[in-house]
Structure 1
Amino acid sequence: LLQKDRDGKTNYSPTISITNATKPFSLLSIYPNPVDDKLNALVNVVVSNQIATISIQDLTGKIVSKFEKQLTVGQSNIEIDVSKQAASTYLLVIELPSGDKLVQKFIKK
């Protein structure tokens, strides 16, 4: 930006850059909800080859199921067997090694 001072002198303002920080992944959908046996979580992954930790928690925070899954760039579907869980409301937690986390509530019929 060219700047003109009151005394007539001109100079350029310092250059700054802006970085658009993108999240490494996002949750596109979770279905069906409520669920009987198989829950699907569709995620969009920006950072390549992430190993996600997927856990199912009850509403007190107790982990009732946990496993890892390799996620590739683009859309990844995570299928989760919840058939052995009691009918209740749960939290699906998907976490990357970087600490980035997605949390979504779902209902098990």
Structure 2
Amino acid sequence: MRPYVTVLQARTDTSATYLGVPPAGRHNSLGLHWRVPGGWSGDYLSRPAILSAALAPAVLAVHGADALPLRCQVCDRAVERDRAVTAVGPRHPDDPVRRRLTAHRACARHARLTIKGPAQ
């Protein structure tokens, strides 16, 4: 997506990656700014989930599925691919169906799932 989206490098002491985002009111600038449609209210720029939903298809189209974060199917937080496990069991205690899940090892243990090995 370069030069349209620039992902800043992660700090060495965390697994976080930072994405530079201009202030919501910056619509006309030579630098980083928002392209806005006519009649725009400004409401949706402050909601990260909507911004993420808008960027995810573009990241997927350009970089493939491995570029999107892997989600733990137990806690729904991001999990690093090399630390994820494949487990079998119900997604939550009231779920009658046992299924294959990708999860943090700690989440799988806490939920008493059967760990099969590294996530595929």
Give the TM-score normalised by the residue count of structure 1: 0.25
1 or 2, which has the higher strand percentage?
1
Q: Would you tell me which structure has more helix in proportion to its own residues? A: 2
Normalised by the length of structure 2, the TM-score is 0.23
Tell me which structure has the larger Cα radius of gyration: 1
Kindly indicate whether structure 1 or structure 2 has the higher relative contact order, using CA contacts under 8 Å at least 6 residues apart: 1
